[in-house]
Amino acid sequence: MNLKSFLQGFGILAVVITLIPLIAADYWWIRIFDYPHIELTLLTLAAIAAYFLRFEIKNWRDYAFITVLVACFVYQFAKLVPYTPLTPSEVNSPTESVNENTGFSIVTANVLQKNEVTDSLIAEMKSVQPDIAVFTETNTRWSEAIKKGIGKYYPHKVEVPLPNTYGMLLYSKLKLKDPQVKFLVDDSIPSIHAQIELKSGDMIKLHAIHPTPPMPQHNPSSSDRDAEMMKIALEARDSELPVIVIGDFNDVPWSQTVGLFKNVGELLDLRVGRFFYNTFDAGSSIMRWPLDHIFVTEEFRVESIKTGPNVESDHFHYFAKLFLQPELAEEQKPDNATEEQLKKARKQIAEEEKEDAEKGQNH
């Protein structure tokens, strides 16, 4: 196969992979193509450049091919632009008049349950010293290691260690009110919910989630993940308190599901207008994308964001320093959810509940 044929073959493949996620289906082999969008965009750009540098564009087939490939790249790039400085930030920086007592740091860290090296994460948490920390994939061994390592700094805890890679811990230096563990779509997949009192006395609402990814061996569709996210979005929408949703979503910010989640919950993404802040896969220098997220309502401001170093997990932790400035909320208010978006979210929840009911009847 010569280079021209190879580039044309890749171009066709790029178009197909770009279009597959647009299919309105929740099969794992469709939803999985949401993930490598950054890499696909760069490869498409490289293919266009190589075609122009090596070959003359001299007949209608060449023009047609390049036109399709450029259109494909433009579409791909348009989905990524919001997560670059080319777009205005959704969550602005705090103003000079901010009350320091409304500030707090927060982190989400997937520890990788099978990771035997606990000291690296403990040392990093001692260095970062977040006020609020959510740890996912925590079994009993990890729960005991984290408690021994940093437990004395965190008087408020919600601990749900599990052996199935969906264990979760919430550690907080700030007072928790009415903390709850819920199993929204599966009796083995917990989420943690609590009101948190800031040093200023203001109350906020936290939802920590870790929905299942679409995987052929465990969850061949994304229905559980999507339904859990929609349930949280509706709770955020109805909350009278400022809301933070945090955790390993097992989904990327440019997917249809996360887009709907944001719209329905009327939430803002810290990444928009800044950068990708890829958190997975820490073991690869090429295949990386953002799976861990912090979404907030319009009352919050963000001072800083960063991802952590490699701590032997397959995820980098995701850290933010936030301030509560509700008096400036109108400056960054998200668009109201449409009736069509709300209907779609409720439909996803209903479909998941129907699947659960059918599974129950078969057992």
Domain assignments of the chain as residue spans, ordered by start: 3-83, 100-347
- Number of residues in the chain: 363
Lowest mean pLDDT among 67-71, 117-121, 356-360: 356-360
Does position 26 have pLDDT exceeding 70, yes or no?
Answer: no
Residue with tokens 């061949």: 220
Ramachandran quadrant class, 302 (left: phi over 0; alpha: psi -120 to 50; beta: rest): beta
**Is domain 100-347 in CATH 3.60.10.10, yes or no?**
yes
The number of C-alpha atoms within 13 Å of 259 and in the hemisphere containing its C-beta is 11
pLDDT 10s digits, 129-171: 999 999 999 999 999 999 999 999 999 999 999 999 999 999 9
What is the spatial distance between Cα 249 and Cα 230, in angstroms, rounded to a whole number? 12
DSSP annotation of 92 reads P
pLDDT 10s digits, 179-216: 999 999 999 999 999 999 999 999 999 999 999 987 66
Closest CA to 189 of 218, 164, 157: 164
Closest CA to 203 of 166, 234, 243: 243
Q: What is the pLDDT of residue 53?
A: 77
Say if CB 281 and CB 314 are below 8 A apart.
yes
Handedness of CA 149, 154, 155, 158 (dihedral sign): negative
Q: What is the pLDDT of residue 362?
A: 61
pLDDT 10s digits, 341-356: 999 999 999 988 887 7
Handedness of CA 158, 163, 164, 165 (dihedral sign): positive
Those residues whose C-beta lies under 8 Å from the C-beta of residue 242, and which sit 6 or more positions away, are 202, 204, 205, 296, 297, 299, 300, 324, 326
Residue 133, CA distances (Å) to 31, 76, 122, 126, 248 in order: 29, 34, 12, 12, 13
Predicted TM-score (pTM) of the model is 0.93
Residue with tokens 């409304």: 102
Closest CA to 101 of 174, 170, 168, 28: 174
**Beta partners for residue 153, in sequence order:** none
Q: What is the pLDDT of residue 55?
A: 73
Closest CA to 91 of 356, 301, 263: 301
